[in-house]
Structure formats: C-alpha cells, structure tokens
C-alpha cells in the first residue's frame, strides 16, 4: 500500500482513517435534534466510505449513546432536547448511510453526568487509532460546531493530521455564524479543508476499485 504522507498528499493510504461523526437519525430531518440540511452529508459521505472501503482502510463511525437521564437533556437542566438515547430508534445510523460491515463504532456521552462532544472524550478511540498506527484523519459528519469541531480540536492536539471534509459537514447554527466560525477555527488549528472534487482532480478516485498492495 502506498504511504499517503510520502506520496500524493490527498491520496488515502497507509496511516489514514475515515471518521464519520454522529450521522444518526435524531440529527437528521424529523429527528429530535435535527441539523438543518444534515441529510445532505449522507450521499457525500457514502463516496468517501466507498473509497476507504475499496482501499481496505479503517473507518470509524461515532455516535451519541446517551443514557435516558443524560445531563445535556433539557429535563436535566441541559441545553438540548432528549436525543440519541442508547438503543433507541433516534440513536440508530440511518440505512441510507452505507457503513461497511467492518466499520468500528465509537460510542460517546455514555455517562449520565458527563457531556462528551469529542470522539476523543474517552481514551478508547485514541487507543484504537494508535493500535492501527493511524496518523491522519479524514473527518466529516454532524454537527460542525459541536462534535466535529471538538473532535478535530482534540485530534490536532494529539498530533494527528486532519483533512476536514468540508462538503460532508453541516452546522446546527444556534447562532447564524456558528458553523462558519467553527470551520475557520478548525482551519486555524491546522485542519486542511477538502471536497470530494479535490480527490477527483488528484486522481484518487480512479483507483477506488483496486485492492491495496
């Protein structure tokens, strides 16, 4: 397999992983805490998923997996309506999201008295990345200014390089500029914003059906 760091800088390869953040029913249209236009990330993420799967590269999908009395819920004095309660319909990944069978699921915000926006909130995720010798993360999902931002912030702080899939994120925008400001913050931290078209121009998708060496 070609090392993505030493070869084409956009080419997913050895040392890379795709991270799909919180694309769950409750964050999509009709969900308990729907992200405006959140459904739009699904077909875009499916392209990245197919590319990484074709290269036998690691894919992680995180999910909020809240207990029913989670501190972030309005009933407990938190800012959000109850959402993504573990084992509930709203916590499921939508069937339209084409997660491969070998996807590694990262559950977070599982303790009732502790909020956890970042995938790195528990040590388990970082450990799994280290075990696979991952150095670079391709990151997309929901919502831009919360779980995506906090995951990217923690990833950079831990020394990972981050490619931000700018076409595969959407903001909640409680305040109108929240999403834009979060994107700017991630870039300031060192994340490199890319779109699927950038991979197409770089020729990365031409080998999507090849097996790694």
Give 7-23 pLDDT, tens digit per residue. Answer: 578 889 999 999 999 99
pLDDT at 206: 59
Alpha-carbon distance of 111 to 81, in angstroms, equals: 17
Concerning whether 108 is annotated as a catalytic residue, the answer is: yes
Q: What percent of the chain has pLDDT over 90?
A: 87
**Residue among 26, 39, 64, 147 flagged as catalytic:** 147
**Three-state DSSP class for residue 4:** coil
Concerning whether 84 is annotated as a catalytic residue, the answer is: no
Alpha-carbon distance of 85 to 78, in angstroms, equals: 15
Concerning whether 147 is annotated as a catalytic residue, the answer is: yes
Radius of gyration for the alpha carbons in the chain, expressed in angstroms and rounded = 17
Kindly state the average pLDDT of the residues 109-116: 94
Give strand ranges (E) for 36-185: 59-64, 104-108, 136-142, 161-170
Q: What is the pLDDT of residues 65-102, one digit of tens each?
A: 999 999 999 999 999 999 999 999 999 999 999 999 99
- Mind listing the domains of the chain with CATH numbers? 16-60+117-207 (3.40.50.850)
- What are the b/e assignments for 132-160, b being 16+ CB within 10 Å? eebbbbbbbbbbbbbbbbbbbbbbbeeeb
**Residue among 108, 119, 167, 204 flagged as catalytic:** 108
Alpha-carbon distance of 191 to 193, in angstroms, equals: 6
pLDDT at 135: 97
Q: What is the pLDDT of residues 140-182, one digit of tens each?
A: 999 999 999 999 999 999 999 999 999 999 999 999 999 999 9
């Amino acid at each position: 397999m070609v090392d993505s760091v030493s070869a084409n800088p956009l080419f997913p390869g050895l040392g890379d992983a795709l991270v799909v953040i919180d694309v769950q029913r409750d964050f999509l249209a009709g969900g308990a805490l729907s992200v405006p236009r959140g459904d739009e990330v699904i077909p875009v993420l499916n392209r990245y998923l197919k590319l990484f799967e074709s290269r036998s590269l690691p894919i992680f999908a995180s999910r909020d997996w809240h207990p029913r009395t989670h501190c972030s819920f309005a009933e407990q004095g938190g800012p959000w309506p109850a959402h993504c309660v573990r084992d509930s319909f709203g916590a499921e990944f939508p069937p339209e999201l084409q997660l491969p069978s070998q996807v590694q699921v990262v559950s977070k915000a599982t303790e009732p008295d502790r909020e956890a926006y970042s995938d790195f909130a528990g040590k388990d995720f970082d450990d799994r990345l280290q075990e696979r010798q991952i150095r670079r993360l391709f990151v997309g999902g929901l919502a831009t200014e919360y779980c995506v931002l906090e995951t990217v912030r923690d990833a950079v702080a831990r020394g990972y390089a981050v490619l931000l899939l700018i076409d595969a994120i959407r903001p909640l925008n409680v305040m109108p500029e929240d999403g834009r400001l979060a994107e700017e913050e991630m870039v300031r931290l060192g994340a490199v914003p890319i779109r699927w078209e950038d991979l197409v121009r770089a020729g990365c998708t031409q080998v999507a059906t090849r097996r790694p060496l």
